[in-house]
Every structure is written in C-alpha cells, then in structure tokens.
C-alpha cells in the first residue's frame, strides 16, 4: 500500500487512540461483505471524488493504482460523474487525477 500523507501520519502521532479506532473500523467494514479490494477501491474513488474530498480522493487514487486499477479506468469513473453531479465537479476531479498521476 502507498505511504499515507504526512498530515495523516502527524494525526496518528498526536491522536493514536483515535487513529487506531478509525483504522480498526475500516478493517472491520472491509471484512464484512463480499466486495474485493478492487471493487472497494473503485467505490471509494467514486465517493471521495464525487464529493471533491481532495485529500481522500488523492489517497484513494494512489490506493487504486496499487490495487491494479489503470489510469483509463479511473478516468472513466470520473467521466461518469458528468451526468449525475455535473461538469464542474467532473472537471475538478479530473484535474486531481491528472495531478496525482503526473507525479508517477
């Protein structure tokens, strides 16, 4: 898995109990149902990207790439925002995708 952002590492150091419970909750939810890593990565991309949760979206892009999801798949997911949530949100999300993947 990719390294978490620096500000999250700082949060973990400052609030280890909160971070631990948060991570425990995430692990529990991942294990509950039949979705595999790839499906969960796509869903989390859609949720964080459609809400323009910039930091979360960037983290989920990195995790998706680590899971084997291609740039083309991520771009199609973002294009699917257009008819439901609109052009400005889709374009902003696509900009974040470009920014993240140009670093590679």
Confidence band, pLDDT 50/70/90 cuts, at residue 46: very high
Q: What share of the chain is helix, strand, coil (3-state, %, to 5)?
A: 80, 0, 20
Buried b (16+ CB within 10 A) or exposed e, 36-64: eeeebbbebbbebbbeeeeebbbbbbbbb
Which residues, including other chains, have CB under 8 Å from residue 52's CB and lie 6 or more apart? 89, 92, 93, 96
Residues 5-23 have pLDDT tens digits of 888 899 999 999 999 999 9
pTM for this model (two decimals): 0.85
Where does residue 68 fall: left (phi above 0), alpha (psi -120 to 50 degrees), or beta otherwise? left
The architecture that CATH gives domain 37-104 is Up-down Bundle (1.20)
Query: If you ran DSSP here, which 8-state letter would residue 80 be given?
Result: T
Q: What is the pLDDT at residue 3?
A: 80
Spans of all domains in the chain: 1-33, 37-104
Q: For the residues 69-89, what does the mean pLDDT come to? A: 97
pLDDT > 70 fraction of the chain, expressed in percent and rounded: 98
């Amino acid at each position: 898995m990719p390294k978490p952002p620096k500000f999250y590492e700082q949060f973990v150091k400052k609030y280890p109990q909160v971070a631990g419970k948060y991570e425990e909750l995430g692990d529990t939810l991942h294990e509950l149902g039949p979705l595999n890593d790839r499906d969960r990565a796509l869903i989390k991309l859609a949720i964080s990207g459609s809400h323009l949760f910039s930091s979360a979206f960037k983290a989920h892009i990195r995790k998706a790439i680590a899971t084997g999801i291609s740039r083309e798949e991520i771009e199609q997911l973002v294009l699917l925002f257009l008819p439901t949530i609109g052009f400005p949100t889709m374009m902003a999300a696509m900009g974040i995708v470009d920014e993240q993947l140009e670093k590679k």
